[in-house]
Amino acid sequence: MSGPGDNNEPKGFWAKLQRRLGPGAAARDSWANSAAHREILSGLTLGETRTHELRSVWRVLLWAGLLLALFQVQAGLLTRMGPELVRVDLAVLFVTFFALRLGAIEGALAAYAAGYVADLFVQGPPGLCRFLAVAIWTGGRILGNRAGFSSPVGRVIFVLAASALYQAGTLGGLQLASVSGPGQIAWLSVVPQAFLAAALALPAHRLLGSLERRTSSKGR
Amino acid sequence: MLAFLQRYRELLLVVALLLLPAGTYIANAKQGRDLSSLDKLCLAVSAPISRAVDHVTTGVLGLWAEYVDLRGVRAENAELRESIAELRSQLSARTEAELENQRLHELLTFTRASRGRAVAAPVIGVSPTHRRVVTIAIGKDDGIAAGMAVVTADGVVGKVVATYGGTAEVQLLIDGGSAVAARVQRSRARVTARGLGQESSLQLANALRTDDIETGDILVTSGTDRVFPKGLVIGRIGSIQREAYGMYLQGEILPAVEVRGLEEVLVLVVPGEDSELPTAHASDDMVPGIPGLP
């Protein structure tokens, strides 16, 4: 068993990738009681991080349930209030948060669950949103520290790019899956939705971070 | 092997979580999607949220739409109230003019039909005392003199008792000091209609017990008092007490003219001599149709 501070770490691409992916949060975050903060503190004792992270896996259900509820709220709102061009990219807001703030196992599973919930609402071929969500989570996890995603500006840029990629991926996936595809108009929504997601990134992540701290066994 | 799995478990998990949905997607991309039991469960559990939000949104949007609709209502309401008040005022003036026109038309018809000369005058005042006297807006300057008969198309009103420059006072038939020589139109019996000071009745006086007088008989002026020309309607017999003894009947007369609502009158400046006035002729022919009689 090895932790982040292990001197006998194996070399090579996979080992590097493994180090980047986890355990603990990817981003160095200045937020008090953040997962990264806790990981640094807990990293002093080898093995503690993974044990703690496994204890937090139950929260995957919490994240999935919350996202499901928010998707339903958005569905209810959009039924009456109109254009889907400006719907909030909830899945991306959640997945980017998971990538920056949660531990590897919890984050990966939560991203998968978020993709699953998104799949329910996209009504496309099953697995499309799940794959994209985990891919974005992985990208954020790997690039997190190097690209400076922990800063507010970096986080906004990350969410902007992630939303654009996620939507483009979803629409592309739908296009590949069916003859007719989602239609031209759907592609027009990519840019405004990405900007809307970026605009909401900081407050949304702050709220999710607050919930994460409240539900964390170490943060209490 | 176990050590490998433990060392790379995050990486392996991520790879699995990427490959699993990718494989699912590739396998099902060209097929229609069937919801699994878990999918259905998730949607069924969370669907009430969507419905509740939809319900609330509909309510809020409905409220908003109603608010927008109601924004101008207060001002519009005030405007409409103003319009209604103006229209009511116009309607009232029009009704008033119509009624006045009707009254004047009746007076004009009466005047044209009579042989004498009559002058129309509006009633401009009522005596504030116990006396039943009204003031009219013509007087000495207009050739009006005391003793002239004052009538309407309905019948006798009274007589001029005093004149001034532009006004005159008219003693009403119902005044306590008023008495008019009358005749029962049907039987031609001679009686006197005397005022009691009450608006709704006159006293039947000087009617012999043997005279043919019945309730409902119409009384007209006899012309023998030299004030009222012959044949003007005074009223109708209301009730009679015919005792088994005594010389005279006791009775009540219901006046033909409603003095309370009197607005215009005619002063008979030169009454037609020995000729009955049109209301009397009309009353002979159409007794139930005489205006003003109860």
> Cα A65 to chain center, whole Å?
15
pLDDT tens across B167-201, in order? 999 999 998 888 999 999 999 999 999 998 888 89
Q: What pLDDT, on the 0 to 100 scale, is given for residue B160?
A: 93
Residue of chain B with shortest Cα separation from A135: B18
In this complex, is the C-beta atom of A175 within 8 Å of any C-beta atom belonging to chain B?
Answer: no
Cβ–Cβ of A17/B11 closer than 8 Å? yes
Kindly tell me the number of DSSP H helices and DSSP E strands found in chain B.
Answer: 5, 12
Q: Tell me which of B218 and B28 has the higher pLDDT.
A: B218
Cβ–Cβ of B28/A127 closer than 8 Å? yes
Distance CA A129, CA A117 (A): 8
Banded pLDDT at B153 (limits 50, 70, 90): confident
Region B267-294 average pLDDT: 49
- β-strands B179-184, B218-221: how paired? antiparallel
User: Which DSSP category does A145 fall into?
Assistant: T
Q: Coil, helix or strand for A149?
A: coil
**pLDDT exceeds cutoff 80 at A117:** yes
A1-6: long-range pairs with CB below 8 Å, 24+: A1/A46, A1/A47, A1/A50, A1/B6, A1/B7, A2/A46, A2/B7, A3/A43, A3/A46, A3/A47, A3/A48, A3/A49, A4/A39, A4/A43, A4/A49, A5/A43, A5/A46, A6/A46
Domain boundaries, given as residue ranges, for chain A: 59-215
Closest approach of chain A CAs to the CA of B74, in angstroms? 29
Nearest alpha-carbon partner for B4 in A21, A2, A141, A138: A2
Ramachandran bin of B87, using left for φ above 0, alpha for ψ from -120 to 50, beta for the remaining angles? alpha
Region B11-37 average pLDDT: 84
**pLDDT exceeds cutoff 80 at B2:** no
pLDDT tens across B216-262, in order? 999 999 988 888 888 889 999 999 988 878 888 889 999 999 888 78
Cβ–Cβ of A126/B61 closer than 8 Å? no
pLDDT tens across A145-188, in order? 677 777 889 999 999 999 999 999 988 888 887 756 666 777 88
Bridge partners of residue B190, in order along the sequence: B183
Q: What pLDDT, on the 0 to 100 scale, is given for residue A197?
A: 93
Q: Coil, helix or strand for B170?
A: strand
Task: Identify the burial level of B279 via C-beta atoms within 10 angstroms of its C-beta, where 0-12 means exposed, 13-18 middle and 19 or more buried.
Answer: buried
| CATH code of domain A59-215 | 1.10.1760
Closest approach of chain B CAs to the CA of A80, in angstroms? 7
Locus of tokens 């009579």:
B114
Distance CA A195, CA A197 (A): 5
**pLDDT exceeds cutoff 70 at A24:** no
* Mutation site, A120, A137, A166, A179, interface B, largest B CB count within 10 A: A120
Nearest alpha-carbon partner for A31 in A22, A20, A39: A39
Region A87-99 average pLDDT: 92
Q: What pLDDT, on the 0 to 100 scale, is given for residue A75?
A: 83
Helices A59-81, A190-215: axis angle to 10 degrees equals 140
Residue B269 to residues A141, B150, B220, B229, B282, Cα–Cα distance (Å):
120, 9, 19, 11, 22
Task: Delineate the domains of chain B, giving CATH numbers in brackets.
Answer: 102-289 (2.40.10.340)
Amino acid at A35: A
Q: What is the CA radius of gyration of chain B?
A: 46
